[in-house]
């Protein structure tokens, strides 16, 4: 599938009147139903319009998310399952609660089940219990971090998963997770299609790293860099409290540096931000350590924020280990930086103190902040709208401040990364004052 093929699959004709009783006319003070012809442009700039006009092409556009006038599923006969997979992330419980409440109160779907511990929960040999979900059960869960359903990493037997869906008579499966979870959801959809079943698979994007393609923002991201903001503030105090004090903070960001970049911008006391998208050298006249020493000689303290996936090229080549989800296990760049800085400064008899802080697992286990809580609810509601209308193999997204439906294969085709020529990265460079390049031959 091309990244330009944004067509959302539908299970069939929608003939059940929605119970939402919305409007189809403007000016009556009632929210309007959304149609499949309502689109959100990918490029809203004038240049984008001119490029499309010049090439005589239809502009790339996403299907707008929202409630449809007619549904594929009869709510009274609909049975739903919800599963959370992968690493923890602020907002998971908010999304679960949002899906349950939307189904129960708005669509009157009352048979809702939670699958425990990710895709493992579908496999009988694990013997994980299935939880019946209702508004009373989920009423307080948004106040807690983590997920009440539990989670796990790694793929499971897709045929066995679909066997379970069939045995449970599930009509809709909501998969809440990141890249690996969504790939698994697509595989489940493929097996469902192969069997000729009418089960909708809806994805809700969860990645603390904010690295899902064609989605401006994922839930939990804002909470994570907001918590990092406070950690940076305290670490800055630590660095200033010693002569030539250095504080290194490692934040999550396996392949993309969005958390590190936004955290640095939110607390503009950071002097260096190192992310996976950039190359840099440790040594030499323009290398990181030389730049760090210059900063210390000028101000006698320095703050360094590094994303976990940054600088992996600095480690000796060896066979790469992978976790259960197939992600490469990165080496600890924060510890490496601490060791190399200490080694170099001791060798040159340059006085310093250095502290290394890794708050990653505290951040990802926290409850969602207010803005993320709103966003989680909106993602959940729009996922329910799409699934009840028989849409499948889709993930609910957000683009240009509008909620969208995106085919899962498009969302997982490649990871979103910081573009070093983007305004975001330029903002980081302006805020930190770090050189545009820390390579000896830029």
Residues belonging to the active site: 209
Hey, which residues does 1 pair with through a beta bridge? none
**Strand arrangement of the beta sheet that strand 272-274 belongs to:** 272-274, 301-307, 245-251, 353-357
CA 156 vs. chain centroid, Å, equals 22
Residue whose structure tokens are 């006249």: 285
Among residues 191, 200, 194, 198, the alpha carbon closest in space to that of 81 is found at: 200
Distance CA 99, CA 92 (A): 11
Q: Are 345 and 291 in contact (CB under 8 A)?
A: no
CA 114 to CA 384: how far, in whole Å? 15
Cα end-to-end span (Å), the chain: 37
DSSP string, 133-201: E-HHHHTTGGGSSS-TT----S---HHHHHHHHHHHT-SEEEEEESHHHHHHHHHHHHHHHHHT---EE
Burial class (CB in 10 A: 0-12, 13-18, 19+), 275: buried
Two tokens at 40?
């959100």
Integer Cα distance of 442 and 430 in angstroms? 19
Residue labelled with tokens 């493929």: 190
In the three-class reduction of DSSP (H, G, I as helix; E, B as strand; rest coil), residue 412 is classed as coil
């Amino acid at each position: 599938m091309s990244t330009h093929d944004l067509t959302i699959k539908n299970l069939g004709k929608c003939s059940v009147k929605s119970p939402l009783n919305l409007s189809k006319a403007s000016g009556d003070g009632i929210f309007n139903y959304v149609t499949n012809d309502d689109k959100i442009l990918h490029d809203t700039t004038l240049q984008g319009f001119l490029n499309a006009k010049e090439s005589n092409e239809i502009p790339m556009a996403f299907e707008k998310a929202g409630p449809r006038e007619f549904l594929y599923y009869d709510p009274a006969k609909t049975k739903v399952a919800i599963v959370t997979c992968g690493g923890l992330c602020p907002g998971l419980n908010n999304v679960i609660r949002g899906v349950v409440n939307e189904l129960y109160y708005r669509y009157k779907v009352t048979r809702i089940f939670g699958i425990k511990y990710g895709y493992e929960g579908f496999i009988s040999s694990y013997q994980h219990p299935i939880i019946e979900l209702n508004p009373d059960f989920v009423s307080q869960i948004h106040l807690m971090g983590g997920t009440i359903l539990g989670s796990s990493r790694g793929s499971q037997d897709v045929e066995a998963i679909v066997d379970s869906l069939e045995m449970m008579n599930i009509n809709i499966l909501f998969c809440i997770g990141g890249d690996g979870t969504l790939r698994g959801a697509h595989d489940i959809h493929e097996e469902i299609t192969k069997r000729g079943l009418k089960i909708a698979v809806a994805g809700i994007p969860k990645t603390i790293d904010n690295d899902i393609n064609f989605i401006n923002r994922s839930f939990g991201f804002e909470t994570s860099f907001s918590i990092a903001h406070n950690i940076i503030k305290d670490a800055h105090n630590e660095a200033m409290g010693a002569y030539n004090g250095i504080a290194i903070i490692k934040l999550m960001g396996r392949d993309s540096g969005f958390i590190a970049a936004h955290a640095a911008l939110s607390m503009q006391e950071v002097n260096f931000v190192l992310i996976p998208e950039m190359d840099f050298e440790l040594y030499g006249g323009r290398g990181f350590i030389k730049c760090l020493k210059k900063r210390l000689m000028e101000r006698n303290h320095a703050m360094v924020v590094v994303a976990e996936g940054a600088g992996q090229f600095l480690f000796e080549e060896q066979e790469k280990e992978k976790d259960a989800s197939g992600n490469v296990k990165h080496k600890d760049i924060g510890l490496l930086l601490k060791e190399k800085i200490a080694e170099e400064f001791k060798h040159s008899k340059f006085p310093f103190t250095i502290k290394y802080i890794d708050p990653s697992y505290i951040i990802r286990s926290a409850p969602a902040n207010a803005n993320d809580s709103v966003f989680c609810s909106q993602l959940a509601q729009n996922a329910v709208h799409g699934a009840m209308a028989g849409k499948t193999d889709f993930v609910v997204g957000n683009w240009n401040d509008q909620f969208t439906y995106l085919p899962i294969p498009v969302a997982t085709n490649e990871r979103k990364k910081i573009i070093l020529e983007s305004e975001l990265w330029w903002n980081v460079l302006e805020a930190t004052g770090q050189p545009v390049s820390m390579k000896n031959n830029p």
